[in-house]
Chains A and B, each alone.
Chain A
Amino acid sequence: MSGFLILSRILALGFIRDKTSVFFTILFPLMFLVLFGALFSSDGTSKAEVVQIGDVMALDDLPAPARAELTESLTLTKRDGALQGPLAKLREGDYDAVISEKGNQLVVYYSQADSVRSAAVRGVLESVVDNANLTAAGAAPLYELTARQVEDESIQPIQYQTPGLLGWAISMSAVFGAALTLVEWRRRKILRRLRLAPVSLSAVIGARVGVSIAISLVQGVIFVGVAMLPLFGLQLSGQWWLAVPLIVCGTLAFLAIGMLAGSFAKTAEGASGISNLIVLPMAFLSGAFFPMDAAPAWLRTVAEIFPLKHLVESTRDVLVRGADFAAVMPDMALLLAFAIIAAGIAVSLFRWDDV
């Protein structure tokens, strides 16, 4: 057996027997998948709470279909009595809007605390009033608005979440794996022992790379497999298998980051600290957990330097958006370039020994 195969086997055994690392590599990200799946299981936002004080003609007289449409975006509760109580609750944020009728005026009280939601409520109510006016005037509406979602009807938050969380899981295990192996093997004098044995440095690094790629692919299979369960309902698009080379390229980039972290750190604690310092901000900025569309432009620019950003975007493209090889090739090239540069620096910083 060559040194590469022997060391690969040693690393693989060490990984499988370490329950903590198996947990953090496989189960921990899956827990997030379940959690995020539950959080975003509806369309992502809960309905607005609107309280109606006494009779409001425009609402009470709504025909059943229009009423159904209305209650799709807000829950309407009818109350009798004074305005003061509900208004106080509105200020405290318990309600999103309070409606009362004064003669022909429909008064909407809202709080600026959640400006997006109050604007939405106002919009909905304005359209109700407009419709009521039209009906009262006996005029048929001239234009009609039909809304259609651009994605496939089946698109679900899971389509967004799976590639993101998978990318995060892969980056975590590869960065930590490389950093901890390097530091622990150096601290425990295993590297020194290997230096005294007829084993090449490339066999040592190659074994870590090989095992990490295997772990990443296993993570990918388990992750996508679980997400495709009816409970979650992930649906893969045409060239989903392009995710395999993407995962390999991404893993190489993260291993290089881990090796860099391992070159600087002297202890396992230090290595985990540095790895966390890199992986967590990278995961947030790369849109692994939630979209970065609302983030300021400069922050999105910063995110471009992270390999995770490119891995998440491109796996999302191939897994659920039906992208082809040409579309993700630039990302793949970027990941590889990142890996080569970072690994080059890491190898130049490589030390067999502490001293």
Chain B
Amino acid sequence: MTETIVVDDIAKSYGQCKAVDGVSLSVTEGEFFGILGPNGAGKTTTLEILEGLRRPDQGNVELFGHSPWPRNPRLLTRIGVQLQTSAFFERLTAREQIRAFASLYGVKAAKADAMLETVGLTDKANTRTEQLSGGQTQRLSIACTLVHDPELVFLDEPTAALDPQARRNLWDLLGGINASGRTVVLTTHYMDEAETLCDRVAIMDAGKILRIGAPAALVRELDRTVRVTLAHGTLSEADAAELPGAQGVTDDDVCLTITTSEPTTLLTALVERRALTDLGVKGATLEDVFLELTGREYRA
């Protein structure tokens, strides 16, 4: 497999603050790669170094075998970058905006209009970008990123500050963009987003990568107990504690929750007793992995 991105031990400090502290990773062609971390983990700085916007204090970056720093015009046409803030020209309509970006890359207006259609903004083509909603702005921004058909796409927190509908809507769009064999690197602090979209994720905190792997593999590694919930009154707390495989039981007068590391045994026992009212089974998620790795303390 071809490595599209190879990062070798990069670091970047701003004064005393080590934003990126020895990051190494590689992304293969066609992969959807996520960088996951809390605010201030160094995700954006890492991405900016990969994009060639910043020079690392140490270490090496290669995109398609070339260094992105200093500004490399031949790489620029092969990569597409969506910035954290949507960088649009003032007082242009959606169509003018995407056509402007298209023409900067030498792409025809018809292609730009088609891309607008792809992201479902044709009916907003004559609307000024200032008047678009948050979700529409992000879709336009992604369309502008993809208009020159880049082989490698960087997306920096594309769904930050969107409402749930707009996020789901954008996921559908994002899920499709590497269908054509494109390589995508995405940063996010949403676990569900990374689980849904990414082939592999790197969990980052305090400038370091803590773990890299497929989301499912990371969750499995965590070896967390499974939580089984039933409607209150289905079983008494005492009966529940007697069940095979049950490790802990709590009842908050709404739900009875049983934790177990042998869900099969426990569930079979529940089926035998026909005690299945409002059954819910919740395994560990990437969020648990994330919290396990980065801790629960609040950070700004």
Q: Give A residues with C-beta under 8 Å from B.
A: 1, 3, 6, 9-10, 13-14, 17-18, 184, 188-190, 192-199, 352-353, 355
Contact = CB atoms under 8 A, between A and B. Distances in A.
Given A1-B103, A6-B103, A196 B51 contact: yes
Nearest to A17: B91
Nearest to A181: B90
Nearest to A3: B104
Given A188-B85, A188-B88, A190-B89, A195 B96 contact: no
Contacts of A193: 81, 83, 87
B95 to A, nearest CB: 12
Counting from the closest, the 8 A-B pairs by CB-CB distance are: A193-B87, A189-B87, A17-B91, A14-B90, A197-B104, A14-B91, A196-B81, A190-B87
A195 B71 CA distance: 8
Nearest to A5: B103
Interface residues of B, number: 25
B96 A13 contact: yes
20 contacts: A3-B104, A6-B104, A10-B96, A13-B91, A13-B92, A14-B90, A14-B92, A18-B90, A18-B91, A188-B90, A190-B88, A190-B89, A192-B53, A193-B81, A193-B87, A194-B104, A196-B76, A196-B81, A198-B105, A352-B53
Nearest to B90: A14
A352 B51 CA distance: 14
A118 B84 CA distance: 71
B176 interface: no
A62 B114 CA distance: 91
Given A13-B96, A14-B92, A197 B101 contact: yes
B103 A195 contact: no
B59 to A, nearest CB: 20
B79 interface: yes
B contact patch SS? loop
B73 interface: yes
Contacts of A9: 100
A6 B76 contact: no
A189 B103 contact: no
A195 B54 CA distance: 11
B64 to A, nearest CB: 15
Nearest to B154: A196
A1 B92 CA distance: 18
Of listed A193, A195, A353, residue having the most chain B CB within 10 A: A193
A196 B77 CA distance: 9
A234 B104 CA distance: 45
Contacts of B89: 10, 14, 190
Interface string B91-109: 1100010001101110000
Contacts of A189: 83-85, 87
Given A189-B84, A352-B53, 8 more contacts: A10-B89, A189-B83, A193-B87, A195-B71, A198-B73, A198-B105, A199-B104, A355-B14
B143 to A, nearest CB: 14
Contacts of A196: 51-53, 76, 79, 81
Contacts of A190: 87-89
Contacts of A13: 91-92, 96
Interface string B62-82: 000000000101001101010
B104 A198 contact: yes
Interface string B6-32: 000000001000000000000000000
Contacts of B100: 6, 9-10
Nearest to B102: A6
A352 B55 CA distance: 14
Nearest to A189: B87
Contacts of B53: 192, 195-196, 352-353
Contacts of A199: 104
Interface in B216-263: none
B46 to A, nearest CB: 15
Contacts of B88: 188, 190
A197 B14 CA distance: 26
Contacts of A194: 104
A194 B87 CA distance: 9
A197 B101 CA distance: 8
A24 to B, nearest CB: 16
Nearest to A353: B53
A188 B86 CA distance: 8
Contacts of B71: 195
A177 to B, nearest CB: 12
Contacts of B90: 14, 18, 184, 188
Contacts of A18: 90-91
Contacts of A353: 53
Nearest to B91: A17
A193 B87 CA distance: 7
B201 to A, nearest CB: 24
Nearest to A200: B73
Contacts of B14: 355
A231 B288 CA distance: 79
A74 to B, nearest CB: 57
A9 B52 CA distance: 28
Contacts of A3: 104
A190 B83 CA distance: 10
A198 B102 CA distance: 11
Interface in B176-195: none
B134 to A, nearest CB: 16
A6 B215 CA distance: 43
Contacts of B92: 10, 13-14
